Amino acid sequence: MEQVFNVPRVVIGAPQGRSGKTTVTLGLIAALSARGLKVQPFKKGPDFIDPGWLGRVAGRVCRNLDAFFMDRETLRWSLYRGGAGADVAVIEGAMGLFDGVDLAGSGSTAEIAKALAAPVLLVVNAVRMTRSIAAIVLGCQHFDPEVSIGGVILNNVARPRHERMLRAAVENFCGLPVVGALPKNRAWQIPDRHLGLIPVGEDDRLWQAIEAARAGAEEHLDLDAILAIARAAPPLPLPAPPIETGVRLTEPVRIGVFRDRAFSFYYPENLEALEEAGARLVFIDALHDPLPEVDAVYIGGGFPEVFGAELEANRSLREALRSRVEEGLPVYAECGGLIYLSRSLTYAGRRFAMAGVFPFDVTVDNEPRGHGYMRLRALEGNPYFPPGREIKGHEFHHSALAALPPEGRFGFAVERGYGIDGTRDGLVYKNVLGAYCHIHALAVPDWAVVFVGKAAAYRDQKRSKNQALARV
């Protein structure tokens, strides 16, 4: 008999971006959590910032679901693993419901909903609209019959009469329940930056907007109806766990992870993969901490430009990292981490000294250089991937490298995306790889094992050297 699992679940989708999905999702999670329910948040796509807010509100780590990175079995595994012990899973979509990377809608929110057999709550921005809402909802209902629209949430409703007209149109022409109607309210808006919301760790005053969204959800959403829709989602076949690549170490290595207000872009699966491969993670505040005794360093993305002065002020960390790199310390850096490894960072007319591992300078401005999914091919000399290995990832950066030496070694050829110069990404120096590309461990399962293996080799090399010195 086939084994199955069931997690009550809904996808928050919309006909187009900027319809209010994030506000609705945050308010819904906060309201359900206030009822005492365990809510597991998920975010469709590769985003880091929205998941930070969703996880903060839910009190559970938010996980990403991405059909570009993951096949159907892996998507279900992520739901199964992340949703364990939860009363309901709330999955925030991205862009429009059917918007993907190609004409077929590959990677869309709809594809996630189908893979997980999850009903969709359709958030419709009702500004300057009445009866036309029925045409929009009907289009979403019938565009792909495999996508189940469970209910509609009206957003930016003007007045009670406006709401009555909208409800009547949806219920009469579409046969769907309206499970919420949110009035216009600027108090719910969360300030954003060029990549989306302000990261959750930067400004706790923004919590006030979350509280307003929770109160709005409690007043204007039919929480019981939404839970009934989520609980009606069918059981799914129990997924097989991802195939492990490599052998775990018998003795853990210590991997330092920059994790603070400047560097906060980490998928939880990446950190878990390192631990499962044999790492003990040591979190480092790059704004204040010295470099501890570690066998490797992982520097994720974030907004180092916002904290350039503080990063520059922590001179001991910058110099210690540069010195240890010369000794062979393995370092894996993504986007903001690549910037930190540069010689200097210029932002808003100010220049800040960085670690100086790579001899180039970085300028950050408002012009997008790379934004979207990436497909890379590993080049000869890449310390973490064999030549020809395909890597899927994503990028979003507003920075450019200057004074890049012509003899610089690159780790990847870019087949999709931009990277450093449109054709290449990933700079290599000794055991350091710094790239604009962000990877997800479920899409690159060998990354963690190889990185931990590099850390173990470095640790063993240090021990042998110290033992030799002790014998002298």
User: First vs last Cα of the chain: how many Å apart?
Assistant: 66
Annotated catalytic residue 437 = no
User: What distance in Å separates the CA atoms of residue 125 and residue 253, rounded to the nearest whole number?
Assistant: 50
Q: Which two tokens stand for residue 378?
A: 């590993």
CA dihedral 18, 19, 21, 23 (to 10 degrees): 80
> What is the sign, positive or negative, of the torsion defined by CA atoms of 132, 134, 136, 142?
negative
Dihedral angle sign, alpha carbons of residues 355, 357, 359, 362:
negative
- Integer Rg of the chain from CA: 24
* H helix and E strand count, the chain: 13, 26
The active-site residue, picked from 62, 140, 174, 335, is: 335
How far from the centroid of its chain's Cα atoms is residue 325's Cα? 28
What DSSP designation does 244 have? Answer: P
Q: The tokens 């009934």 sit on which residue?
A: 228
Sequence-separated (6 or more) residues with CB below 8 Å from residue 117: 148, 233, 234, 236
**Under DSSP, is residue 223 helix (H, G, I), strand (E, B) or coil?**
helix
Maximum separation of any 2 CA atoms in the chain, in Å: 89
Cite the active site residues: 335
